[in-house]
Amino acid sequence: MRLLVKAPAKINLSLDVLHKRPDGYHEVKMVMTTIDLADRIELVPLASDTIKIVSHNRFVPDDHRNLAYQAAKLLKETFGIRKGVAISIAKAIPVAAGLAGGSSDAAATLRGLNKLWRLGLTLDELAELGAKIGSDVSFCVYGGTAIATGRGEKIEHIPSPPPCWVILAKPAIGVSTAEVYRSLNVNTIEHPDVDGMVQAIKHQDYEGICSLVGNVLEDVTLKKYPEVAHIKEQMKRFGADAVLMSGSGPTVFGLVQYDSRLQRIYNGLRGFCDQVFTVRLLGERNTLD
């Protein structure tokens, strides 16, 4: 038996950092939602008691550094599983892009192996395990739209935003999330209105959502990487309704309500950026497999 699982990317509509915690992590408050750009994970049982990562993307590690590998190892160790699995990762989400690609691969692996190994775990139990792997994994287990607090592992589900297009542009650089957080001065940041964003989503207020997008990590990344600032400026100039960097970057996304404007923005960005995608919001839970 082989199993295919979808691993969608996420964007942050709002990302705030409240303070640095005693454990070294930062306390965050974010609104995240899934988008229809997804990796495909294929799980194939192996006769030997090993975990094998298969990927044709040279930026994807095939050892213990891979979050999908860590997800399989965690399940094996937690539940005493003496079975092997080959995890094939077909990447569509850019690597080190601020879109939770690695975290989503890990979450998809958790959900898939739960079925393959007949563990009978609930999504809540899988999300709790996911928090041990990385801050975004818990959200990615559920998908949909949610407020994430703590270091990102405490999830409160909210309705999906109104339907719209999302256009993504990633420059040819990678950004270290840890480095961005290290460079952040929590005493001088201007906090976005996360609660206002939540209310706008609940009221299906598209214009309100567009006016309230915010990400405190932008200032750090934009100063370090001028090409990210350039993409953001151009996306605004080409006519996106709202423009924001996702996560720690470097991917910039724009929200676009009308198809007619989408092609113009896409063509404009393709003039100087290789990785440009147009996708829809997924938004709802249980659209993942």
Q: Which residues contact 76 (CB under 8 A, 6 or more apart)?
A: 51, 82, 83
Tell me if 249 sits within 8 A of 228, measured CB to CB.
yes
Alpha carbons 10 and 60: distance in angstroms, whole number: 18
Alpha carbons 41 and 76: distance in angstroms, whole number: 18
Alpha carbons 86 and 69: distance in angstroms, whole number: 9
CB atoms within 10 A of CB 122: 9
Buried b (16+ CB within 10 A) or exposed e, 177-203: beebbeebeeeebeebebebbbebbee
Alpha carbons 150 and 282: distance in angstroms, whole number: 24
In the set 6, 10, 170, 232, the catalytic residue is 10
Q: What is the DSSP string of 132-156?
A: TT-TTHHHHHHBSEEEEEETTTEEE
Tell me if 7 sits within 8 A of 105, measured CB to CB.
yes
In the set 39, 136, 232, 241, the catalytic residue is 136
Told to judge if 115 belongs to the known catalytic residues of this protein, a careful annotator would answer: no
Told to judge if 39 belongs to the known catalytic residues of this protein, a careful annotator would answer: no
Instruction: Give which of 119, 50, 118, 41 is closest to 84, Cα–Cα.
Output: 50
| Catalytically annotated residues | 10, 136
